Structure 1
Amino acid sequence: MSEKLVYTINDENMIHQIFGDLDKNKRIIENSFNVVMKINSEGIEIIGEKEKAEKTYELIEQLVRIIKKQPLTDQQLNYTIDSVLIGKGEELEKLLEEPISYTASGKILRAKTLGQYKYINAIKKNDIVFGIGPAGTGKTYLAMAMAIKAFKNNEVRRIILTRPAVEAGESLGFLPGDLQEKIDPYLRPLYDA
């Protein structure tokens, strides 16, 4: 049976960001939740099965919270949709809490996923943390951000960068170049972060 919910909102800019340019986000949301979304005089009207309409309503609530703090990206939209679909939408508010740090250009640095949020909290609470996971998930970047934050706050006196242990069967002695040129590829991700 079809349910109709209305998310009350009268901020046209907010509605535009939720719907996206040329309704791109709207189509993604409608396809993900199998609902129809319309703009009416009260706000955003959601039409679909009861459970799906309620999940879409929850998604819009989360998107509004995100947009109030920062511009909505495609990555955030997709992650928020996935989180709401698996019932973890409420936990997303943790990501908008205090920023980790600020970049040199003044951009706010925040956890982008719940996994990153847990990783940051583990770094805050423990002396040693092992970050294991796929490439490109922010392990090195976040570890360096937390190290620099601790250094700036005088929580530590220095940051020590060490090269990783050489894998079995690998020897740095046979590579061309001096020691710095041999170690640089291992430390480059740390310098970049």
Structure 2
Amino acid sequence: MARETEFLALDDSAVRAVTGPNSRHVALIEDAFKVLVEAPGGGVSINGGARDRANAKQVIQTLADRAAKGATVTEADVRAALGEVRGGGRSTGDLMALPIGKRGAIVPKTNAQARYLETLARCELSFGVGPAGTGKTFLAAAYGANLLRRGQVDRLVITRPAVEAGEKLGFLPGDLNEKVDPYLAPIWEALNDILGAEDVQRRRDKGEIEAAPIAFMRGRTLSHAFVIVDEAQNTSRLQMKMVLTRLGEGARMVVTGDPSQVDLLNPRDSGLAHALRILRDVKGVGVLEFEATDVVRHAMVERIVRAYDADAAGKRLPADLEDTGPA
């Protein structure tokens, strides 16, 4: 197939984002599509076959669009864009962005993440389910923080089952926050990354951000709040029904979890799987299911998840995951 060169005009900031530190981003694109990408000034040139050029151009445009929205472009973004193009997906560049990230705007990395943000915006009760590393908890926290900063809700309420402590936290030292914080570490890490640790602490002191284990939700009505129910696969059916019915006037809720990682003594009692089954078609409820291909943490995490999925399904390791090198 004849190789030709195509030039894509970009401003300097977009070129830097596409190129990456030490040209690492360009190297990933070149390796994925067997093209040569150069930055002669005023944009980038792409040399290769017609299909490879088109694919590389789509990835480059997606990265440039992310940079234009104020998002920091990382290696994970490049890998996610490559995965989307290989899978025949649409570019995420023209979709929703949350302009609140401490290090730049938060923009979906994959089509699944884009649909997830659309679900959060459209539905009063949303479910984001799937393997670790797909961004379901981070994006829920980002969306809730965005609503809080814009004054669209009065509080951000975060709850999670403390399965390891059997919901009995009295033996742990400190006040309620100190007892619960270890179980909510992923949420606090996400919020600190989004808002900054000082802003998070200030809002916690004012009661604008509140965290409590599932057991402490009983008897409450959560009005004008954005509620995140994290690690929901470890709620029982009764706990899930209880927390879902806490919704009050002007409130929205997102339930996140991985149905394959149930830590309950009886996994069949998981309230998440039960809720998904009976609520999926209820008006006002939205469900987004992530897959292993949506993992955006590290390329190795996707391979690990796919290997475990193959084992659970009784299948052999996919060919692209096998080590075919010398022993």
TM range (shorter): 0.7 to 0.9
Matches within 5 A, 1:33-48: 33-38=33-38, 44-48=44-48
Q: Is the 8 A contact 2:10 2:42 kept in 1?
A: yes
Task: Determine what percentage of the aligned residue pairs are the same residue.
Answer: 26
8 Å CA contact 2:84–2:111 kept in 1: the answer is no
Larger proportion of helix: 1
Aligned pair partner of 2:142 in 122, 141, 145: 145
Which stretch has the larger CA shift, 120-129 or 108-117? 108-117
Which of 116, 119, 122 is matched with 1:119 structurally?
A: 116
Question: Gaps spanning 5+ residues in structure 2: where?
Answer: 192-327
151-160 or 48-57: bigger deviation: 151-160
What is the TM-score of this pair, normalised by structure 1?
0.72
Q: In structure 1, what is the Cα distance between the partners aligned to 2:98 and 2:10? A: 32
Secondary structure, in 3 states, of the residue corresponding to 2:126?
coil
Indicate the larger mover: 51-60 or 176-185: 176-185
Q: Deviations over 1:73-111 (max 9, x none)?
A: 2121221122222222x331234x4x32424x5843333
Q: What is the aligned-residue RMSD (CA, Å)?
A: 3.4
| 1:24 to 2:24 alignment | yes
Query: What secondary structure is seen at the aligned counterpart in 1 of 2:93?
Result: helix
Q: Tell me whether 130-139 or 176-185 shows the greater mean CA deviation.
A: 176-185
The 3 A distance-change label for structure 1 pair 20 and 122 is closer
1:128 positional shift: 1.5
- Tell me: CA distance 1:54–1:178, structure 2 relative to 1, closer, same or farther (3 Å): closer
Q: Is the 8 A contact 1:163 1:183 kept in 2?
A: no
Q: Is the 2:4–2:48 Cα contact (8 Å) retained in structure 1? A: yes
Partner-residue secondary structure (3-state), 2:7 = strand
Deviation for aligned residue 1:153 = 4.2
Q: Counterpart of 2:100?
A: 102
Inter-CA distance 147–63: structure 2 relative to 1 (3 Å threshold): closer
The number of aligned residues is: 188
Q: Which residue of 2 aligns with 1:51?
A: 51
Distance 1:130 1:165, change over 3 A: farther
TM-score by length of 2: 0.47
How much does 1:19 deviate?
A: 3.1
Superposed, which structure 2 residues align to 1:129-144 within 5 Å?
129-144=126-141
1:64 aligns with: 64
1:186 correspondence with 2:187: no
Structure 1: segments with no counterpart, 5+ residues: none
